[in-house]
Chain A
Amino acid sequence: MRAIRWVALVIVLFGAFYLWGALQIRESTTYAAVGPRFMPNAIGIGIVLSGVWLFAFPGAPPAPDSPEAASLDWLSIGLMLGLVAVYIALFRVAGYVLATTLLLWGGRANFRRPPSSRARRRDCGGAVGDNLLRLFAIIAHQPAASPVGLLRVRLEGVVL
């Protein structure tokens, strides 16, 4: 079976899950004809139908230059995914400065696999520099604060 047909089946399952989620919405009998469940129900049915439609008419096989036919470096994708997950986990514990420097460094290194020792050093320096730019671009413009983290540094507005 073609991969797109498997995708269609996943869509049907997702549609069924969405419909189940719609049924969990509490709806009082005193509501007007259209309550909070109406639109989610319609969308859920639509998703199931779109899955069935895609299964029945999957279209022509993918062209050699289409994304569907592209050969992917799954290890690199997995590493990137893991890196972001680690970043999110570390963000509150290690704090903005350490976690973001690690993400920038790791992200660059993943694209350069296997990195030379010079590239590794350059990436590390660049990551610290980039971090400062981000600090002023985002955190400094927000009436918000970053987590304190291991370095005990709190970035709050423009106040460090």
Chain B
Amino acid sequence: MLPLRSFASLRLGVKVGAIQKEKDRLFGGDIWANLVNGFSVVLTPQHLLFVMLGVTIGTAIGVLPGIGPSLTISLLLPVTFGLEPISAFVMFGGIFYGAMYGGSTTSILVNTPGESSSVVTAIDGFQMAKKGRGGAALATAAIGSFFAGTFATLMLMLMAPLLVRFALQFGAPEYFALMLLALSAVTGLAGQSAPKAFFATLLGLGLGMVGIDLQTGQARFTFGNLNLLGGIDPVMVAIGLFAVGEVFWAAGTLKRTFEETVTLRGSLMMNREEWRRSWPAWARGSVIGFIIGVLPGAGATIASFLSYNAEQRFAKGKAELGQGAIEGVAGPEAANNASAGGALVPLLALGIPGSATTAVMLVAFQIYGLRPGPLLFQQQADLVWGLIASLYIANLALLVLNLPMVRMWIKLLDVPKPVLYAGILTFSLLGVYADTQNTFSMVLLLALGVLGFLLRRYDFPLAPVVLGAVLGPLIEQEFRRSLAISVNDYSVFFTRPLALVLMTLVIMSFLVPLFNAIWKASRRRAAVSAGAVGEIED
């Protein structure tokens, strides 16, 4: 007979085991069971319809130049208010993945990238189309995107729960440092110019400060205008910068653009040689894309360029790159799709967006009263795993939808641009009006549109503005919470090991581009003066 004490400890052991099992279940210990659960959530006619709707809209906006997934999700947010969260998010996931697929079509056949992430695809894709291998280029882009998208979703599924366990150790100082790291990475990686990216980030943060301070009730930057007390909605910032700004830009440039379209000839199949050359590029692109996607601020465009760079080094047909090498399409297309999956890892596991699209998705979560991060996996397991399962379905749907129907997608380019842009403009204005019931929001949107146009004109990156507007209030909240916990001791950010590591990375990410700019400028000056000396000597 067991002594009473042993019996108690046995019962306690069983209880601890059960808790651990429950913890494992919630935080991804049993990933495959969670995935099955996710499929059971999403495999309903209603949710499948939203997945299909998302991938169709996503592909369409990917095909159409100038319209991106962040803008589309922003515009659709007011329409989705009445939906269940899972329906809205599976649609957004489909849009995000679909836009990456669709962008390649115009790059290859029209030499006009639908998305910035497909710019590099146009280099070899358009050359292939001119040589009559447009079908093979589209095939390698679509199959590579499927391969990379599936790989990235698998990695998201495996990595996010691990990150969630790690994130459970985070307190306010760690969250503050992590958000600061996301913003500093955006500053370091977005665009060509560090000061421009730095300003764009600060502008976003500044917009996020407008309105009532939640801790003290003080109005900030409202200048006596009651309409500003509620702050500036980050979705409005995204719509203003991306949609209205794009319309103004199109109004100024549309009549001056010329598009050369190559007719799609031959079959949409790759030959054996093209298959053999494509798969290593898909593999390289998938890995690069996923890693870059996880990093805040890097995004699909950088992923595709890095993948092209890798192809220049490792591809079998590297000598042909630039003249129509299939690796130049396969690698970057795989990379930009994998980066979309990668970008969802920090969003879902930590609640930190790394790109404009994930920033808008974070706002969408907030609108539904949800906060992405470790607790989302616990409290909304059906939603998270349903979303992950929907991404697998979206990938498959995109493969089926894209390749055989490519001629139909190309027809989208025949939609008259005046109709398209006038439609975007009214949809944007009515979207913000419907949300606020106030024409002041339209005035604000117009101002943000003009700002977006000017930023674009002078080549400032737009994504950091949206990220700043989303993260600004959160960063401030965590900063003040940290100081409240530590009784105003600033060393709290440097005495906790995790916070220290993150803050060191933040400082490095600020200093590296600064020193880089100084170094480049000094080299330029040295080169100029050397040239001048040379001229004198000559």
Contact = CB atoms under 8 A, between A and B. Distances in A.
B459 A66 contact: yes
A67 B418 contact: no
Nearest to A77: B252
A79 B81 CA distance: 33
A34 B198 contact: no
B3 to A, nearest CB: 54
Contact of B251 (A11, A110, A146): A110
A127 B425 CA distance: 12
Interface in B140-175: none
Contacts of A72: 252-253, 457
B421 A26 contact: no
A11 to B, nearest CB: 6
Contacts of B416: 108
A7 B457 CA distance: 11
Contacts of A4: 458
B79 A47 contact: no
Contacts of A108: 416, 418-419, 422
B193 A54 contact: yes
Contact of B426 (A11, A51, A134): A134
A47 B205 CA distance: 10
Interface in B387-415: none
A85 B434 contact: no
A138 B425 contact: no
Contacts of A71: 256
Nearest to B76: A137
B237 to A, nearest CB: 15
Given A33-B483, A77-B251, A130-B426, A54 B431 contact: no
B467 to A, nearest CB: 14
Contacts of A92: 439
A22 B218 CA distance: 11
B206 A47 contact: yes
Interface in B204-263: 205-206, 209, 213, 215-216, 218-221, 223, 244, 247-256
A47 B202 CA distance: 6
A46 B200 CA distance: 11
A27 B218 contact: yes
A125 to B, nearest CB: 11
B484 interface: yes
A33 B199 contact: no
Interface string A90-110: 011000100010011011111
A112 B112 CA distance: 21
Contact of B433 (A36, A91, A127): A91
B434 A139 contact: yes
Main secondary structure of the interface of B (DSSP, over half): helix
Nearest to A70: B253
A34 B434 contact: no
Interface string A23-43: 001111001111110011001
A3 interface: yes
B2 to A, nearest CB: 55
Contacts of B206: 18, 40, 43-44, 47
Nearest to A119: B418
B71 interface: no
Given A21-B221, A39-B476, A88-B439, A51 B205 contact: no
Interface in B60-85: 78-79, 81-82
Contacts of B488: 32-34
Contacts of B196: 54
Residue of B256, B422, B443 most packed against chain A (CB within 10 A): B422
Given A134-B426, A141-B79, A40 B248 contact: no
A87 B203 CA distance: 28
Nearest to A21: B221
B181 interface: no
B317 interface: no
B108 interface: no
B418 A34 contact: no
A139 B202 CA distance: 35
Interface in B498-538: 514, 517-518, 521
Interface in A59-93: 59, 62, 66-68, 70-74, 76-77, 79-81, 84-85, 87-88, 91-92
A111 B194 CA distance: 35
Contact of A112 (B418, B472, B479): B418
A84 B425 CA distance: 9
A144 interface: yes
Interface string B447-486: 0011001001111000000000000100110011001100
B399 to A, nearest CB: 29
Contacts of B82: 141
A111 B209 contact: no
Contact of A138 (B79, B423, B456): B79
Given A36-B215, A108-B422, A80 B199 contact: no
B430 interface: yes
Given A36-B215, A40-B209, A87-B429, A111 B198 contact: no
A39 B476 CA distance: 7
Contacts of A67: 249, 456-459
Contacts of A73: 251-253, 255-256
A137 B439 contact: no
A126 to B, nearest CB: 6
A50 B81 contact: no
Contacts of A74: 252
Contact of A142 (B193, B223, B434): B434
B426 A104 contact: yes
Contact of B422 (A7, A33, A57, A104): A104
A111 B213 CA distance: 43
Pairs of residues from A and B, 6 with the lowest C-beta to C-beta distance, nearest first? A107-B422, A111-B418, A72-B252, A50-B199, A36-B213, A33-B488
23 contacts: A11-B199, A22-B220, A34-B479, A34-B480, A34-B483, A39-B479, A40-B209, A53-B194, A53-B517, A67-B458, A67-B459, A73-B255, A73-B256, A84-B425, A84-B446, A84-B449, A91-B433, A107-B247, A107-B422, A107-B425, A111-B417, A127-B422, A142-B435
Given A43-B205, A130-B419, 4 more contacts: A57-B521, A81-B446, A111-B418, A130-B422
